[in-house]
A and B are shown apart, each in its own frame.
Chain A
Amino acid sequence: MFLKMGAFAFGGVYSMLSFFQRELVDRKKWIAQDEFTEGVAIGQMTPGPPIINTGIFMGYRLRKMKGALAATAGQALPGFILVLVLAYVYTEFKHIPMVGKVLKGVGAAVVGLLVSVVYRMGRQVIRGWAPAAFAVAGFVLLHFLKVNAIALIALAGLSGYLFYGRPR
């Protein structure tokens, strides 16, 4: 079941969500609609990939710990196998000049992709001067001052708490 899901995830995270919805909520009726929504929310606020976490949530609801483990394995396995194949091909063939050219093109595209992620996330998250200041601080501290990234996330969380979390 969850294996089928992993292969389906080729289409990206959103196709996966609609797949959960159709398979588990509409067809099998294992999970109620509001529980599904709850699962999506939990997936987004827990560490790790949201869709995996939503799957773990559903697995846990259905079969407790066994379900959670099955959900993780099923979701991770298809990608894992494919990555192994690609990693093997990569290490064997990366020194062929042609492959090097392909990888250079791909690398440049990934940089563009990252900038587009910054752009999209930025538009969604940075509203007003306070989030903008957090973003600039994150950039400067990481890029120029080489502050430890985990420490930075902890610091940002703490500042968020002090700035937004106090009772008014």
Chain B
Amino acid sequence: MMLLQLFGVLFLVNLFTIGGGYVMLPLLHEFFVDKFHWLTNQEFLDAVAIGQVTPGPLTIMNAFIGYKVMGLAGAVTATLGSYLPSIIVVTFVTKYYLKFKESRVVGAVFRGIKPAVVGMLAGVAVTLGGASFTDATAVCIGVASFAVMAFTKVDPTIVILGAGAAGALLM
């Protein structure tokens, strides 16, 4: 039953998140942390970190969530649920690409969704910041990570590993 729920949520979330990666975070957070209480805010952050340091898209964090909640079966279910929408939609769109490309409707819909997602992601960042910034050291690490990621081209993996080391030494 939980497996089915996991599959359904991830299928739905991935169907609705065009652009992938960070766009899905507000939706995942809502389901797994707020609604089902399968993860705490800290565990959600751990999942994002693991998705970030492993090769391939951030979506792989869903396999981690699946594993965390239901072991190996959960990981497999989560991965299938995450990639199935891609396979279905891409093979469909590839067939009808030209029609799709010229559609003004699609363009207009995206012009609405993109900025809204930026705002939603900001909302999730505030929630998670509230859970994570429990002392001055954590705030410093967060601010440093923001500065490096926003203004330099350093790979996120390096930032995350560095923050882990900083945590071990300073916290």
Contacts and interface: CB of A to CB of B under 8 A. Distances in A.
B77 interface: no
A122 to B, nearest CB: 5
Interface of B is mostly: helix
A164 B107 contact: yes
A90 interface: yes
A161 B108 contact: yes
B49 A110 contact: yes
Contacts, number: 366
15 contacts: A49-B58, A80-B79, A83-B50, A83-B67, A106-B164, A108-B167, A109-B144, A110-B52, A113-B159, A117-B22, A135-B115, A137-B119, A142-B26, A142-B124, A160-B111
B47 to A, nearest CB: 9
A108 B142 contact: yes
Interface string A96-112: 00100111111111111
Interface of B: 12-22, 25-27, 30, 34, 42, 45-46, 48-61, 63-64, 67-68, 72, 75, 79, 82-83, 85-87, 89-91, 93-94, 97, 100-101, 104-129, 132-134, 137-139, 141-147, 149-150, 155-157, 159-160, 162-168, 170-171
Interface in A51-85: 51-53, 56-57, 60-61, 65, 68-69, 72, 75-76, 78-80, 82-84
Given A150-B12, A156-B113, A41 B25 contact: no
Contact of B15 (A13, A47, A103): A47
B138 to A, nearest CB: 4
A45 interface: yes
A80 B76 CA distance: 9
Interface of A: 6-13, 38, 41-53, 56-57, 60-61, 65, 68-69, 72, 75-76, 78-80, 82-84, 86-88, 90-91, 98, 101-122, 125-126, 131-132, 134-140, 142-143, 146, 148-150, 152-161, 163-165
Kindly name the residue among A69, A104, A122 whose own CB sees the greatest number of chain B CB atoms within 10 A.
Answer: A104
Contacts of A76: 56, 60, 79, 83
Nearest to B100: A45
A71 to B, nearest CB: 9
Contact of B86 (A56, A65, A119): A56
Given A79-B60, A139-B120, A143-B126, A149 B27 contact: yes
A57 B94 contact: yes
A167 B64 CA distance: 46
